[in-house]
């Protein structure tokens, strides 16, 4: 059992840190205040080849594992919060279904453009009336000779305002209660704004990366844009769940690490009653507790990633990592605000932004409660509760 980074992983950490070092606090505060997508940040990462970190070399990627992708997302989130992470999140985990299930012709056509940053994609899964019950999705794709016609609604699709491609799951046959996961198909196609209306959802945090409700009206999709086999889209979607859990956990870790470091710095500098507040145990102990929790969850994240990269079952670990990273992250961000006192509520100290952004990995892509149900069933052998 080895807890040390390899030389390649050390180089990766140094390389990504150097690539994004010029994007400072003022940059991210401006993005947040102006709801401005960080295009130059994404371009810098694309130019450095980072968007293809976990994709095959033959299409322009680096062919590294989810472990390396997790390390990268930890650093990115630690630097720029969820705004930075979300600006490229879809490029890192989203194409995994294309890598595994698209035809060779489709991969050659699609993947290099994703890796280079030429393509900006969104992933439309969730619908307003179904929530986490994906087997009951209602968006329909009806086949008509050489194309499909898609109609329906999607919600929480990011970043649809700036995307030019959409990966969408839709029903191609009626739901069968005996086989509820069948009949859903996956498509990767042009985001045609003549037939897709994207309405921005104004939200609590991460204003720079838009979230949207989509209204899809007679979107024509060529047969060539069907990924894999018709009716097997749900099984393809499942394949990407564990890596996404791991990456979201990594992002939550990075945000919490950012908040903790700011709190520690402030505790060392802030003088009250002629002594630094960091000398007081009521300040020290919560920060020390946060450090210990972050170290433990980082080990679990990397364990889950290592299992995935070695093609071992990792669902329980991936879900537990997401759960703990979000729980600890909320707690640490809250404590970072409290350590700053009244100034923690001020935007110039950034911790209030990190707290707001931490709510995203807490709520998505799956609820904390559903994760506990999954762990109870799969790790403890208890009966399914939903």
Q: Helix crossing, 66-93 with 25-34: angle to 10°? A: 30
Task: Provide the token pair at 36.
Answer: 């401005």
Distances (CA, A) of 261 to 79, 97, 264: 11, 36, 5
Give pLDDT tens digits for 11-59.
999 999 999 999 999 999 999 999 999 999 999 999 999 999 999 999 9
Distances (CA, A) of 199 to 211, 328, 385: 8, 33, 35
Per the rule left: phi > 0, alpha: psi between -120 and 50, beta: everything else, 49 is: left
Contact 85, 251 (CB under 8 A): yes
pLDDT of the residue at 311: 94
Averaged over successive runs of 10 residues, the pLDDT of the chain (386 residues) comes to 93 98 97 98 97 95 96 98 96 89 97 96 94 93 97 97 97 93 96 98 97 98 98 92 96 98 98 97 98 98 97 96 98 98 97 98 96 97 94
What string of DSSP letters covers 338-352?
HHHGGGGGSGGG-HH
pLDDT of the residue at 42: 98
The residue among 130, 187, 119 whose CA lies nearest residue 159 is 119
pLDDT of the residue at 39: 97
């Amino acid at each position: 059992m080895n807890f040390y980074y390899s030389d390649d992983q050390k180089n990766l950490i140094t390389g990504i840190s150097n690539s994004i070092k010029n994007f400072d606090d003022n940059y991210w505060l401006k993005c947040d205040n102006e709801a401005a997508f960080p295009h130059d940040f994404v371009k810098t990462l694309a130019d450095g080849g980072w968007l293809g970190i976990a994709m095959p070399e033959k299409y322009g990627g680096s062919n590294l594992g989810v472990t390396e992708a997790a390390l990268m997302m930890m650093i990115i989130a630690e630097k720029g919060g969820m705004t930075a992470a979300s600006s490229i999140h879809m490029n890192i985990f989203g194409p995994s279904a294309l890598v595994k299930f698209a035809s060779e012709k489709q991969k050659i056509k699609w993947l290099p453009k994703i890796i280079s940053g030429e393509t900006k994609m969104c992933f439309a899964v969730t619908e307003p009336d179904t929530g986490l019950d994906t087997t009951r999705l209602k968006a329909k794709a009806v086949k008509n000779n050489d194309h499909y016609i898609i109609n329906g609604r999607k919600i929480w699709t990011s970043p649809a305002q700036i995307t030019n491609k959409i990966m969408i799951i839709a029903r191609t046959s009626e739901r069968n209660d005996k086989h509820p996961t069948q009949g859903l198909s996956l498509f990767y196609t042009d985001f045609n704004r003549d037939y897709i209306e994207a309405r921005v959802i104004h939200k609590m945090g991460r204003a720079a990366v838009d979230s949207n409700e989509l209204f899809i009206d007679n979107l024509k999709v060529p047969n060539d844009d069907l990924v894999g086999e018709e009716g097997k889209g749900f099984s393809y979607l499942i394949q990407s769940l564990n890596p996404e859990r791991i990456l979201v956990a990594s992002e939550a870790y990075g945000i919490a690490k950012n908040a903790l470091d700011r709190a520690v710095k402030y505790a060392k500098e802030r003088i009250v009653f002629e002594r630094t507040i960091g000398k007081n145990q009521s300040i020290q102990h919560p920060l020390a507790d946060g450090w210990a929790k972050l170290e433990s969850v980082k080990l679990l994240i990397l364990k889950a990633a290592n299992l995935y990269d070695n093609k071992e079952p990792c669902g329980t670990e991936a879900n537990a990592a997401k759960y703990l990273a979000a729980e600890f992250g909320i707690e640490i961000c809250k404590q970072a605000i409290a350590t700053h006192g009244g100034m923690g509520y001020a935007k110039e100290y950034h911790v209030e932004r990190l707290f707001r952004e931490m709510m995203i990995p807490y709520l998505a892509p799956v609820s904390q409660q559903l994760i506990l149900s999954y762990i109870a069933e799969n790790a403890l052998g208890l009966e399914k509760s939903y």
